[in-house]
Amino acid sequence: MNNYSTYLKPRFSILVLFIFVGFGNLSAQTKQWTLEECINHALENNISIQQSEFQLQLAEQNTKQAKYSNLPTLNGFASHTYNFGQTIDPFTNQFATSQVRSNSFSLSSSLTIFSGFQTLNTVKRNQADAKASEYDLQKMQNDVSLNIANFYLQILFSNELVKNSQNQLQVTKGQIDRIAKMVEAGSLPEGNLREIEAQYATEELQLINAQNSLSITKLNLAQVLRLEDASNFEVVTPNLSSFQGVSELITPGALYLTALETMPEVKSAELSYYSAEKSKDIAQGGYSPTLSVTGSIGSGYSGANTEIVGVENQRLVRTGDVTEVSGEAILSPAFDLIREDKAFADQLDDNFNKSIGFRLNIPILNGFNSRINVQRAKIQVEQAQLNLDNTKLQLRQNIESAHNEAIAALKRYRAAEKSVNALQLSFNYTKQRFDVGLLNSFDFNNEKNRLNNAESELLQAKYEYIFKTKVLDFYQGKALNF
């Protein structure tokens, strides 16, 4: 038994080792998402985008339907009927009192020649609506991309805060070790140690809060991406260590002119205005006469339609009259006719008919429907014009706001950078005084907190500026990446 245990122990240890190594490899293979990958994944899986894609497909089908409405119609008809009791046969026009079977076959076609250009304008309107839906889809994709970029930068910012908190905690841990030795040696009172330990507990809480904030921002982005498992979600951290910011940005006026040519919301609003104009033309076409041509061919069969195929029972019968001279009865030949149902193919040939006609419909008084439709369409044109103006105004305001916010964020970053540099020098001097016992723990912690707050302010301004510049790049039609 002991030999058996001795035999199993090394193999069990090897198995455990493989298990840990396997888990370590799985952990090492955790996918790190770039911003471009996040955006592409969201564009493929976002529900709002998928709904916009369906709207585009519906608009395209409406365009096809409008185009095909210019083609002539063609419809076939067939019937198979049994009539019981007295009825008029549709093909012989005779009364029938017995069961009669009848069949009817026809093809009919019609073509609208002129309808006030309503069909043509409907095609143009639906084409504009389809193109507007395409731009609406692009607008939805842009909004999702900006939202992803914002979440992505929030994760980077939270990562920086966690690192700063860890660094601060490490510095405080070193101070605790140093002061503990000095207290043990009797060169410092025990109160100094308790104060620095309280500071350490506060910074531990700050680290936990930063880690929680990072987890929440990761979860938010993972949920936007519709990932099934967000537990191991990580993003690639780009190299932003050399970030300095630019001193000048493109002017809002120049950026607005560029955005007018590239932003899909403007194109969509322009096409919606064009569509409203075509809807007005369609409504005005209701005043015009409508000219159409129709044609049909058809044939049929009736069970009551018979033909003579022979005679039988030939005989002489008295007519009831007599001769004037001798008074003899006058006889007349008589016979019975032999009838059969007329052949199906023969009846189809005999009953074949065709027709062609023109129809002119002149609207005179229809409850003022055409007039009301035109007035309604004119109102919709005015609404579309206001929507276009408002879209351009909103775009200009967004660009101006993004530009001003970028400038403000850059100024804030510059100021925070100076503040961090100054506070770093001050903290270094404070630390030297604290190390030699010329400064108490309260003043040291206060100076350290000031530096920590300034560094957080610097990080916040940095990432806010980066996001605002990415928004400005977006208005210039540039891709969102680092």
- Per DSSP, the residues of 329-342 read EEEEEEEEEEEEEP
296: left (phi over 0), alpha (psi -120 to 50) or beta: beta
Beta-strand pair 95-96/73-83 = unpaired
Mean pLDDT value across the chain:
83
Q: Can you read off the two tokens belonging to residue 201? A: 């507990």
Reported confidence tier of residue 396, pLDDT bands at 50, 70, 90:
very high
78 vs 105, 285, 298, 401, CA distance in Å?
A: 4, 36, 10, 69
Place of tokens 């910012």: 157
**Could you tell me whether strands 306-322 and 329-341 are parallel, antiparallel, or unpaired per DSSP bridges?**
antiparallel
> How far apart are the C-alpha atoms of 377 and 278, rounded to whole Å?
9
Percent of the chain with pLDDT over 70: 89
Higher-pLDDT residue of 18, 160: 160
Mean pLDDT computed over 48-74: 91
Confidence check: pLDDT of 324 > 50? yes
Helix (H, G, I), strand (E, B) or coil at 210: helix
Residue 14: what pLDDT?
39
Residue 380, number of CB atoms within 10 A of its CB? 18
At residue 245, the pLDDT reads: 61
pLDDT digits (tens, 9 = 90+) for 256-275: 999 998 899 999 999 999 99
Partners of 115 in the β-ladder: none
Does residue 19 register a pLDDT over 80? Answer: no
Using the predicted structure, report yes or no on whether residue 58 has a pLDDT greater than 90.
Answer: yes
| Greater model confidence, 352 or 314 | 352
- Between CA 112 and CA 126 the distance in angstroms is 19
The answer to whether residue 20 scores a pLDDT higher than 70 is: no
- pLDDT for 244 equals 60
Whether pLDDT at 192 is above 90: no
Give yes or no for residue 25 having a pLDDT over 60: no
d(CA 116, CA 418): 73
| pLDDT confidence of residue 241 | 61
Q: In terms of pLDDT, which residue wins out, 160 or 383?
A: 383
C-alpha–C-alpha distance, residues 258 and 251, integer Å: 11
Confidence of residue 134 (pLDDT cuts 50, 70, 90): very high
**pLDDT score recorded for residue 90:** 65
Q: Where are the beta strands (DSSP E) in 92-214?
A: 95-96, 100-114
Mean pLDDT along residues 181-207: 84
Comparing 300-304, 377-381, 434-438, 450-454, the range with the smallest average pLDDT is 434-438
State what percent of residues in the chain have pLDDT above 90. Answer: 33
Return the minimum-mean-pLDDT range out of 208-217, 400-409, 436-445: 436-445
What's the pLDDT score for residue 24?
A: 44
Residue found by looking up tokens 């925070």 in the block: 416
Residue among 381, 360, 359, 358 nearest 284 (CA): 381
Say if residues 120 and 22 touch (Cβ distance below 8 Å): no
Give the 3-state secondary structure percentages of the chain, helix then strand then coil, rounded to 5: 65, 20, 20
pLDDT of 338 above 80: no
Dist CA 67 CA 189 (whole Å): 92
Per-residue burial over 144-170, b if 16 or more Cβ lie within 10 Å, else e, is: bbbbbbbbbbbbbbbbbbbebbeebbe
Strand (E) positions, 329-418?
329-341, 353-361
Phi-psi category of residue 310: left, alpha or beta, with phi > 0 → left and psi -120 to 50 → alpha? left
Q: How confident is the model at residue 319 (pLDDT cuts 50, 70, 90)?
A: confident
